[in-house]
Amino acid sequence: MPTAKVTYEVTGTGTADITYQARSESGEATVVKAATLPWRKTVPVPLGRTPVVSIVLGEKGGQARCAVAVRGRHLQSATAGGGFGRATCTGSLPGPSPSPDPADIAATG
């Protein structure tokens, strides 16, 4: 299955629980508990899937910012603050390129 490189980045201070989508047969997200910030990960995500990263701050709060980039192009960022603050960033991947139908090629040729 074709994939695109997606970079998830969480900046800030302290720790946050980070959930992100990577290449997984079941489509389940990966969870990193109490990750020390700043945190960054580049993973392959299947085309057609939605890359998503979400953060939840601990009870001590603080501030953290998540960001999503696909093939090095920044797509979205969001900021979480305060006790148990949350933020989610998503992007979109192009669908897999359909292979041309031989009948279409013959009709246009």
Mean pLDDT of the chain: 86
Average pLDDT estimate for 64-86? 94
Please tell me the predicted confidence (pLDDT) of residue 108.
47
Assign 21 to helix, strand or coil. coil
> In the chain, pLDDT over 90 holds for what percent of residues?
58
d(CA 96, CA 82): 40
Dihedral sign for Cα atoms in the order 40, 51, 77, 15: negative
How far is Cα 33 from Cα 44, in angstroms, rounded to an integer?
21
pLDDT above 70: residue 101: no
The predicted-structure confidence for 18-45, as pLDDT tens digits, reads as follows 999 988 767 788 999 999 999 999 999 9
Q: Rg for the chain (alpha carbons), in Å?
A: 18
